[in-house]
Structure 1
Amino acid sequence: MKRQAFLVAFAFLISTQHVGAETINHAENYQTCMGLVREKPEKAFDMALNWKGYGGGEAAEHCIATALIAMKRYENGADRLERLADSSRRSKEFKAQLLAQSAQGWYLANQVDRARALLTTAIELDGTSAELYVDRAQMRSAQNSLHDALSDLNTALELDDMNVDALIFRGSIYRLTERFEEARSDIHRALALAPGNTEALLERGMLYRIEGKDAEARTDWMAVIEIDPSGDAAETARLNLERMDVNSGS
């Protein structure tokens, strides 16, 4: 299960500033810049660089770093986010979120050790955030440390027992470790909270397949493809359907 939260806009304390005859609304600039990141990251990058020269401060720097990651310049973006967290005068909880975003960039750059270390630092700053534990579980799972990943997910769910990502992720680990009853329980809870969640439907289909309930598995995987045909879950669902059809001789 992949989590990519690097496009999230942060609640910077920014307002309007007068520069000579020009009035700059920094809050509006930030929203515009972050809105460009997903569709036109190069334009967001150029805008943020220019804006930073007019007093954009941390908000402009955040948009620059986020745009770099969206442009797949993962190391540059992650490094800037890490340095922004180090230099920021904001709360430790805020810094923890910046570090978590930096960790996602390092993860995408295949520097999982660094990503995991940053998330550990983030958790030390804010041990009450369930999302930070889910993110570190991703890093630990990527390193095949499933026991440690499970520990993080257990903590996340103790902090927030309605965290759908944590339920699905823990369910997938239970499936991989053949704890099928516990896997079914977590996926059932996730789907009760988010009935159309494609990752949960994908996982339930896998559990049905393990039980030999091919018709039910097919229904779930077809639903995944219908809900989000271009998503990662849909790609996996298609592969699973192909394998099932080959194995059944159809």
Structure 2
Amino acid sequence: MGGAMPNDDLVRDRPPRADAAAPPPSAADVAAEAPLNATSAWLQGCLSQLEEDPARAHAMAQIRRAESTGTDRVLANHCLGTAASELGLWDDARTAFAAARAETPAAESRTRARFGALAGNAALAGGDAAGAERLLIEAEADARAARASLLEAIAATDRARALVTLGRTDQALAALDNATTLVPDRAEGWLLKATLLRRLERLPEAQTAIERAATLAPSNPAVGLEAGVIAVLTGRDAAARASWQSVIDLAPGTPEAATATGYLAQLAPAPDIAVPTPEETPPP
């Protein structure tokens, strides 16, 4: 999603974003945390294979899953889901992560939360917002049981995306309120909150949220894009121009920079400041 809400029209009649089909970035946040028995030599080998040949890792994991039980099968599903995500096979990824959660002991609530969040993320990337919501509700419950605030915030953030897709914006805002309360120093929650508040035409609140996101992630181009949109909708064209230019300067060649260039083209040119001639210069 590139940090924005689905189906978000930032500036009227803008061209579609080139990265609109990209999966939500929070999966990387979840996957970065260690899975069950992270020192497993087989798991490390399978995951390391992802960079060179994700299709081979996918095949390795399928074979391993068919031949194993217990923890080994959980680890096989982990690698299978990760490889499927790399290949854009979102249904396969969802099935693998959901199976990993189901086969993880009930006492391992933190690990169940991790796999549940990944399953919900895959469902969301695959276009099943309703299914994603169900999976992410379970992930949030597991995270609360484990007192894992970051995992709960990640799941709540993705659930907000799903709720926006389903047209339930009030519930989405409540999910983002929870996410930013749980982990107030995570910029993504504030960015999405600003985007949703702006879409609800609650611009003063949107401005407060985007300022918080900018404080936490000043070099994030998605934050600069949204800050410019909020600025232009509140009649502050100069601030919008500065925000979008900063995106181009900080992240040249990226989809965000291309979008910022398009936004700038929609603004009227900055007024020129006339320099008086000597004859026009008033006396001291």
Scaled by the length of structure 1, what TM-score is found? 0.82
Q: What is the CA deviation profile of residues 40-77 of structure 1, one whole-angstrom value per residue up to 9, with x for unaligned ones?
A: 32132234346655885422321111111221111111
Unmatched runs of 5 consecutive residues or more in structure 1: 16-25
Distance 1:233 1:221 in 2: 9
Map of 1:57-76 to 2, 5 A cutoff?
57-76=73-92
Q: In 1, are the aligned partners of 2:58 and 2:79 still within 8 Å (CA)?
A: yes
Q: What is the CA deviation profile of residues 172-216 of structure 1, one whole-angstrom value per residue up to 9, with x for unaligned ones?
A: 111111111111111111111221112211111111211333333
**Percent of aligned pairs sharing the same letter:** 24
1:188–1:39: structure 2 CA closer, same or farther, 3 Å change rule?
farther
Give runs of ≥4 in structure 1 deviating > 4 Å: 49-56, 229-232
The reply on whether 1:132 has 2:155 as its aligned counterpart is yes
1:144–1:235: structure 2 CA closer, same or farther, 3 Å change rule?
farther
1:111 to 128, 136, 157: 128
How many residues in Structure 1 have an aligned counterpart in Structure 2? 237
The reply on whether 1:212 has 2:225 as its aligned counterpart is no
Tell which has more relative contact order, 1 or 2 (C-alpha 8 A, sep 6+). Answer: 2
Distance 1:59 1:72 in 2: 20
Deviates more, 1:174-183 or 1:214-223: 214-223
Scaled by the length of structure 2, what TM-score is found? 0.73
Unmatched runs of 5 consecutive residues or more in structure 2: 6-23, 272-284
User: 1:91 is matched by which residue type in structure 2?
Assistant: E
- Structure with bigger helix share is 1
Distance 2:52 2:252 in 1: 19
- Give the greater-gyration-radius structure (CA): 2
Map of 1:35-114 to 2, 5 A cutoff?
35-37=48-50, 40-49=53-62, 56-89=72-105, 91-114=108-131
Distance 1:235 1:36 in 2: 33
Report the secondary structure of 2:26's partner residue: coil
Distance 2:154 2:181 in 1: 12
Q: In 2, are the aligned partners of 1:96 and 1:123 still within 8 Å (CA)?
A: yes
The reply on whether 1:6 has 2:27 as its aligned counterpart is yes
Q: In 2, are the aligned partners of 1:222 and 1:237 still within 8 Å (CA)?
A: yes
Distance 1:216 1:87 in 2: 52
Distance 1:228 1:10 in 2: 27
Over aligned residues, Cα RMSD in angstroms?
A: 2.7
Q: 1:98, CA displacement in angstroms? A: 0.6
The reply on whether 1:167 has 2:190 as its aligned counterpart is yes
